Amino acid sequence: MPFEIKDTISGRSLEAIRAAYPEFAKTKLDIKKYKVVVSEFGGEVHVSFWDVDRPSDADKLLTYVSPVVEFDVALDPSTLTILRAGLSK
């Protein structure tokens, strides 16, 4: 029986998500309402918890307002220790 791949994730991204998730869990928000995005910028690894229905071009839309609170965790890229965490803009 054929199967359908739903997602793929690198081991490094999984490690970043594992490091960041405890901060997200403290919010008591429902993880099922979020998609998790791992990115690197400003010399940091960011794990962002975005609205699951967020359009891919939301950063370019001046009128987009997420119906759920979005959250970001910044990590040190070499150790994956938390540098800061909080609501994202």
Structure tokens at 31: 């993880």
Domain ranges, residue 50: 11-87
In a domain, 77, yes or no: yes
In a domain, 2, yes or no: no
Kindly report, residue by residue over 67-79, the tens digit of the pLDDT.
778 899 999 999 9
Structure tokens at 87: 């609501």
The three-class DSSP label of residue 85 is strand
Q: Decide: 72 and 85 in contact? Cβ < 8 Å.
A: yes
In a domain, 40, yes or no: yes
Residues 46, 39: Cα–Cα separation, whole Å: 5
Considering the entire predicted model, what is its pTM? Answer: 0.85
pLDDT exceeding 70 applies to what percent of the chain?
A: 91
The list of the chain residues with pLDDT below 70 reads: 58-64, 89
In a domain, 59, yes or no: yes
Per-residue buried b or exposed e for 76-88, using 16+ beta carbons within 10 Å of the residue's own CB: eeeebeeeebeee
Total of domains in the chain: 1
Structure tokens at 37: 């995005």
In a domain, 43, yes or no: yes
